[in-house]
Structure 1
Amino acid sequence: MTDDPIAVARANWAKAGWGDVADGMVAVTSVMRAHQILLARVETALRPYDLSFSRFELLRLLAFSRTGALPIAKASARLQVHVTSVTHAIRRLESAGLVSRAPHPTDGRTTLVAITSAGRELVERATVTLNEQVFADIGVSPEQSRALVGAIDALRHSAGDY
């Protein structure tokens, strides 16, 4: 008998008569568990910066943008999250002095979010930490990482994600 709960779930699925869909259940469960593992590592790395991964992503997106500012709707689209989630992240970052909001200079219906110098400095330090503590070694070989991305890319494409 194995200590792997997902392997046990596969056996239970097959025993229940659902063997024809057991591979799919194992794939979904495995991705969900991998997400939990990686998110915990990311959160641990970002804890000293008082950042969640979503707030880090927003700061990193703004730091990468040519002007350091984007319309909130564009940030939402690029991060692939609902505008209310981006607005929540903006509020938290704004209260910490890491971003600011301003009216768009030519479109009165649009609000821009801009990274501040403090936000830029923080996201640079946080990026170094993530690169060293998480991205440099996610727990699988580079070849396995590329294969994983390929499999997930196929799933995203078939779901119409892009």
Structure 2
Amino acid sequence: MDVLRWGLCLICIYNPIAWSADLAKELKVFAPYLGTWEASFSMSTGTPAVQDVSRWERALNGTAIRTVHSINNGDYGGESLIFWDKQKQSLVFYYFTTAGFYTSGRIEVLSDHEFAAYEQVVGNQDGITQVKSTSRFKAGQFSVATEYFKQGKWTAPQTRVYQPSHKTVVFK
């Protein structure tokens, strides 16, 4: 019986779904995103596909969501914290990268499994100053459509589809 109890305890500790019940109510939209995901996509036409591995987890006693991701086993990576800002009465986030730039922004919940993010970029070498994206969770996967404000105009949306993964986020 003790072995069974210990096993159930480990399942609860390492199962992101079990953590979703302990999220702040403002963060419930992120519950289906908890876990590890991967997507393969091309950064631009004619370039080889890259692999993005992303992990979403409950943080700070359920008052924040932490995301980490790496592209091509650590060639590039980043880390975010998403939380409810009581003063602004809004979901906000900060994203820090291995490329030396960071973003800050706000998130607008669109539905139970969909949200839009609006970011201000600081220090990007490619001239990107803003990013907007929409994430949708459906049928056990999620998609992210992203647009970049670069050199005075918005790029066409790029959509990436993330599937559940057992891979590890790698930083060098």
What TM-score do you get using the length of structure 2 for normalisation? 0.23
Greater gyration radius: 1
Greater share of strand residues, 1 or 2? 2
TM-score computed with the length of structure 1 as normaliser: 0.24
Structure having the larger proportion of residues in helix: 1
